[in-house]
Structure 1
Amino acid sequence: MVMTTTKSLLTVAVAATVMTTVNAHGQMTMPKAQFGGGDPTSFVTTISSSKLQAPSGMSFTTSPEANTKAFTAAIKASSFKTLRDFIEQNSQPGECGKSVVGAPQPLPDMVEWSHGSGEGFTPSHEGPCEVWCDDKQVFHDDNCARNYPQAPARLPYEKAKCAGASKLTIYWLALHSSEWQVYKNCAALQGGSGPAPGPAPSSAPAPGPAPSSAPRPSTSPSPSRAPSPGGDDEDCDDDLPIAGDDDCDDLPEPDCDDDLPVKGDDIGGESNYDKFKQGINFRSIEDGEGEDAPGQVVPEDY
């Protein structure tokens, strides 16, 4: 009895180990998916292969590679545009599968999938996978286990399309049996729910040239002196210079018709003649008979 019991317990333990190995096939490790409990590496649900019609001459019950080729042809001929559409419409994987949204993380250079330290996608579990940032598809491959065999599997997604996204999600469908295994993990992203981050700010632009000083007001040329009336008449400036003055501009210009103004001239009244007298002292010129010649005046220095 003791031996039988011991053997039975050993059999159960081995079976449990095998089941864990079969059902545990990895998780997203970059960005790192977070989990609330249970086995983080196991699939979240399954989809029956009867959901798609296999193309003529192909089936979903042969080798993993042949099954994958049949699935690729079948889904292209169907109404499903993406792997995500097919999984979400034919199962209930939840928002993040067995993972939780968790704390926001920066966008990685590559999305990584690992099953322990020595495996990425389980080699026998061939099938397609996709990566999404919110509602933008940023990666797809028809057979991720075969085409990305490294550990961890590193997927070159379109990082630029994820700028400003809130969540990154990976889908993987393993087609090695007639019940297709669905894997879904996600991670929150830093900077989500906002505009896409712009380029790093450049240094402040160099200040423009200092504004030039206000233009100097142009100096008006000194007005030229008007020519003396009469054309050939003499210039009174030369005949009667005024002390301290370079020319006659400040004085009314006398009538130069005659050498000296005389009474009865056209100047008349309070004329240039009277104004002329204000700058020069005049004395009467006596004629031969002892009387002042009518209107004849000359400067005292004459």
Structure 2
Amino acid sequence: MIENAISAENLRVHYPNFDLFIDHFDLPCGYVMGLIGRNGAGKTTLIEALLDSTPARAQHCKLLGMRMDQNERQIKNQLGVVSDRFVFPDSYHAMKLMRRIGPFYDQFDEVLYHTLLNRFRLPLGKPFGEFSAGMKVKLSIIFALSHHPKLMILDEPTANLDPVSRREVLDLLYEFMQQEDHSLLFSTHNTADLDKIADYVTCLENGHVKFSASKEILMENWQHFRCEGKIPKEMKDFVLKPKPTETGWEGMCTHAAQLRHLPVVFTPATLEEIMLAQDLTYEEL
């Protein structure tokens, strides 16, 4: 098995009002990476650059160990993509999609396709354009899964979904990841999705990688703290969002794992709390 499902170095995309500069981006095979950041941070641009659908310049960019400009057919046979930019014709219903687009994939599995359509109770003859947002996402993921991809790339798959549909979509992705050679990259604004299934988290800001780390390491280090009296001196460089309490201070610490010897109480933070805390910096107390 190859080491990385996605590997990119020196990735550059230039638009009149936006530039993407990614020095290094890897997704190890067999893992899930969540891509987060504000609107306009570059998440969709990065995904499009990886899929070779932007005017990108990259010294090194590979999917499943291959370059898109040299192995497009081989890559697309093993790649599932779900994005607002890659939608089906409004007039196509589920069966027409299978007949017209399914044959482009060497391993399109009609039995699996029908099984998933029945499982999620999607109508076979209803045009794609008449589907609800949740139905469109489900059909897109079902179609992508039905040609047995090894890598799935999804741009905001749970956006605008109700809680039940979101859970169903996450269940599908979780099932996909049960095979050890499967990998998944997906962007989201809903950090609760990442809490459930992500192994790695990459945050973009203004076209750059703000941070990229395993979720486990991130959660071990970024934690709430509470202390009596002043914040310990050796901790001050690692504090965000400090607030005074009746007896001391509380806030977010970025290096909790190495500071547990201090007289400070640490408690876990969610990914959403970690993201919010990064918008505020420590000021001299």
Structure having the larger proportion of residues in helix: 2
The bucket for the TM-score relative to the shorter chain is: under 0.3
Q: Which gives a bigger RCO, structure 1 or 2 (Cα 8 Å, sep 6+)?
A: 2
Normalised to the residue count of structure 2, the TM-score between the two structures is: 0.18
> Based on CA coordinates, which of the two structures has the bigger radius of gyration?
1
Normalised to the residue count of structure 1, the TM-score between the two structures is: 0.17
